Each structure stands twice: as structure tokens, then as C-alpha cells.
Structure 1
């Protein structure tokens, strides 16, 4: 088993007005890992709070979940890169278990399958949209995934090789599709999903969910793309 204390890991945390959640999130990042908060134009002082709490702060002025995630990936330097929502709905303290799966060669991309803790954790409309998209992914790739959540881990060089281009809500889906097209092993690990701090910018409303589904449908319609992020590159 790979010793993660000796491994280098960057945690990309896309952030837009998450001042209330940042202290909880950052205190749960493993102490030897680097927390990289990608501020996507916050107006609540999120960037200053993150910096004061010891995180690396990267600014991405182009609005969009994918824009923030990709900027964080490009700024990463570690062997392994994790992604995690910055709204306190997912516990970054669970990330070592995901990285361990990759480091030990059991998988190439591991996703956190959200298991809602309480009725407020995951709105019914968002859960239904996720189920539909998971079935579409299965038809497109053969992957029997049950969630397309944002908590995930993989090796940095292989992620860069996927050539991800989506800069909106389709980014997590495009990562999975291109990984599957490249022959990666993609797996899931159950993680508790908590009620988020504040209101979601995406799934908190039907309108936000519709826009996310629209973005993901566009990604699903893309033809397979040849990548340099080959399978099982370790």
C-alpha cells in the first residue's frame, strides 16, 4: 500500500461566495496536502478568508464551475489531484481513501458517490437529473456509475492529458467521458452528502438544474476525442 504521507496531493476547491463554508472545509484538508481555493469572482471575501486560513488562492475571472476546476488543475503541481466542492456538503477528510485507490493502482479515476444525509442534502429535482445523466453515461460508455458528483481523485499528468475543454457545469461529466474513451478504469466510493452551507448556485433551483443538464447534454453529444491521458498510466 502506498504511503500517502509521502505522496504529494493538491486539492482543488472551486469557490464562489463560500465564506461561511471555507473554515469547515479547510480544516479538514489533510495537513501535508495543499488546498488550492480557486476563487471564481467572490464578493464576500472568500479569497481573503482562504488565504488567512493557509490555503493557496488562485483567481479565475471567467465564471463557470469548469473554468475554476481547470484553472486549479493547471496550477497544481502534485502527483495526485483531488476535486471537492467548497460548500461544506462534502468532507475533504474523506479524500485520502479516494487517493489511496488511485495510488495503489486499483483505479485511474475515483468518484465520490453521494449518499445524502437528511432530506435537505440533495433536492429531489437534482437527484432525478443526476439519475438520468448516469443512465446516459452508461449507454455512452458502458460505465455503471450511479453518481456524477464533484468529489474525485486521479493523477495530475493523466488528467492534463484528457484535454478538458468544458468551462461550465459539464466539466465533471466531460472528465468521466474522456477518461472512459481513453480506457481508464473509473470507480466509485460512497461518501456522505451533507446539507450545503448557503444556497446552491446550480442545483438549488429548477432553473439552475436545467442549465446544468443543458451543459451536460452538450458534452454528451460530443464525439469521442483522442487523448494523451492513456489508461492505467502509473
Structure 2
């Protein structure tokens, strides 16, 4: 077994079809924490059957689920990953290695599409615009606000992230930056997801995410 362990938080809403592959890709020494955010397709039972710890979060929202998983985690290092099979958990050690080598405090997976349909055009354009705004407003040079990421549990909890919807990933980055954290991006593969997305796969979901993140950026003070 590795000398360290990592808890991987998977916010989950009706991902029964993807969970077997996702949890089967976890590296040795990595524990899956599936946060069931109100699934009606038996996702929680599937997750348990494949060895994951299941946490229930009644409050709907990506941030609510992600935060519940962070609170439930016990490992020193916590990673976050989508549960829809668009991202490969087997790539997480490359992010974790940057933490263990002390070359970064927060590591983000920069999504690299692996095929057609991986990243809808409207979502890709929205991400590009958001990255530009993050550079202008907060002075953080990011190419992608990817949901796959890793950091040290106690330090992540100390950030005091308040958003419980789509702004959670951005607020994590903004709060980390204000504390002087070294934020690093590492390329990771991005494949077509299993099933339909609740955010980037729909125009409405993308608009909600943009509104949540725009609100956070509007609160950033110019340096």
C-alpha cells in the first residue's frame, strides 16, 4: 500500500451508469466518497456495491455536495472529481504528486478533450470567458477552472468556502489565491460523459454557473 492515502469526493446526482467505471479507476490507496445529492436512480446503492463511502446531502447544489464530501473526508489529501466518467480518476496521482513534492498548494486538472462531444461549444466558450475574467479581476492566470482538483484537507476546510452551488470551484480558487497559495494546472483527459450533464451539458445549467461565478468575481476587489 502507498505510504499516504487520498480521499476522492464525487458529487453525485443520478450517476448510477457511470459509477462502476469511475470507482473502478481509483488508484490503490485512494478512497471514493460519493456524495448523493438526491439521486433517484440508485446511485448510492451502486456506489456502496463498488466500495465507496456514501454521504447523503439533501441540499441540492454542486457546492453543497462537494463541501459535504470535504467535511466527511479524513485523509490528509482530498481530491475532487466528477462522477460522470468524463474524467479518469486514474490520473489523480499526477495532481497529488504536486502536493507531495511541495510544488503546489492547490492543483487543478486542465481539461483536454479526448473526442467529439467531450466539451460542448457553449460550455467551452463560457469557460474561456471565465478564465479571462479571473485573470482580469483576480490576477490568477488559469486556462481552465476544472472540477478535478486536489489539496490538503485541513487547509481546504480553513478556506471557509460559502458557496453551495456552481460557484464552489471558483470560490475555492479565489480564497486560495488571497492566502498566497501556489495554484498549479496539470493537463488531464476529458471524455464524453455518461448520461446528460446537469451543468455544462445544458444551456440553462451553463447560465446558472456563469451567474454564480460572475457574482463571486464581482466581489473581488481590484488590486
Which consecutive aligned stretches of 4+ in structure 1 deviate over 6 angstroms post-superposition?
none
For 1:187, the equivalent position in structure 2 comes to 184
Q: Residues 138 and 220 of structure 2 are in contact (CA less than 8 Å); yes or no, is this contact kept in structure 1?
A: no
TM-score by length of 1: 0.92
Following TM superposition, by how much is the alpha carbon of 1:31 offset from its aligned partner in structure 2, in angstroms? 2.5
Match of 2:123 among 126, 134, 140: 126
- Pairing 1:178–2:175 present: yes
- Pairing 1:36–2:28 present: no
Q: Residues 2 and 28 of structure 2 are in contact (CA less than 8 Å); yes or no, is this contact kept in structure 1?
A: no
TM-score by length of 2: 0.97
Residues 39-188 of structure 1 correspond to what in structure 2 (within 5 A)?
39-188=36-185
Structure 1: runs of 5 or more not aligned: 225-234
**Matched position secondary structure for 1:118:** coil
Q: Residues 137 and 220 of structure 2 are in contact (CA less than 8 Å); yes or no, is this contact kept in structure 1?
A: no
**Matched position secondary structure for 1:6:** coil
Report the count of equivalent residues: 221
Q: Residues 23 and 52 of structure 2 are in contact (CA less than 8 Å); yes or no, is this contact kept in structure 1?
A: yes
Residues 182-221 of structure 1 correspond to what in structure 2 (within 5 A)?
182-221=179-218
Structure 2: runs of 5 or more not aligned: none
In 2, Cα distance between equivalents of 1:202 and 1:145: 20
